[in-house]
């Protein structure tokens, strides 16, 4: 069962590993990211942030989609973390209605980004992807940690 899908450019870090994992009652964290799946150094760094009781899985986006669609992940209470809005879109579209909620937790500020919150900065392309996902009945919200108020995503 997917408990939460979160976009966070830092992937797994203390905030995600502790506050979200515990508040969700999750037992598994899936880091769905193509670069991490092929980078032993990044995998090692991510393992350091894993809560003691968590099962940690790191897969490419395509392999994550296959695992979710096959039902192999159904027995877990999963927190899924992706690095970007584009990764979230690929995962959501690839799993065909398995994911109906998306948490925006952290995206980098850049030259061509619009600031939505203290941790969310989106490009025009990101905004368009999120609008399309909303039109497909995906609930999208900004919330850095569970005890903060949830802010619904509305394109600026």
Q: What is the pLDDT of residue 1?
A: 94
Q: Give the long-range contacts of residues 97-101, CB within 8 A, separation 24 or more.
A: 98/2, 98/68, 98/69, 99/2, 99/5, 99/138, 100/137, 100/138, 100/139, 101/4, 101/5, 101/138, 101/139, 101/140, 101/141
Q: What is the pLDDT of residue 123?
A: 98
CB distance 32 to 59 below 8 Å: yes
User: Tokens at residue 63, please?
Assistant: 């392999």
pLDDT one-digit tens code per residue, 105-147: 999 999 999 999 999 999 999 999 999 999 999 999 999 999 9
Q: Which domains does the chain have, with CATH numbers?
A: 2-152 (3.40.35.10)
Beta bridge partners of 114: 122
Whether residue 15 is predicted with pLDDT greater than 80 in this model: the reply is no
């Amino acid at each position: 069962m997917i408990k939460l899908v979160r976009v966070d450019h830092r992937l797994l870090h203390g905030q995600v590993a502790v506050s979200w994992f515990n508040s969700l009652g999750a037992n598994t964290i899936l880091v769905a990211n193509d670069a991490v799946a092929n980078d032993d150094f990044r995998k090692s760094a991510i393992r350091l942030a894993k809560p003691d009781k968590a099962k940690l899985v790191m897969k490419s986006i395509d392999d994550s989609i296959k695992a979710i669609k096959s039902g192999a992940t159904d027995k877990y209470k999963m927190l899924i973390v992706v690095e970007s809005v584009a990764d979230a879109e690929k995962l959501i579209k690839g799993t065909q209605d398995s994911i109906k909620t998306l948490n925006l937790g952290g995206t980098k500020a850049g030259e061509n980004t619009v600031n939505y919150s203290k941790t969310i900065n989106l490009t025009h392309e990101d905004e368009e992807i999120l609008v399309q996902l909303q039109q497909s009945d995906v609930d999208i919200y900004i919330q850095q940690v569970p005890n903060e108020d949830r802010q619904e995503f509305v394109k600026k």
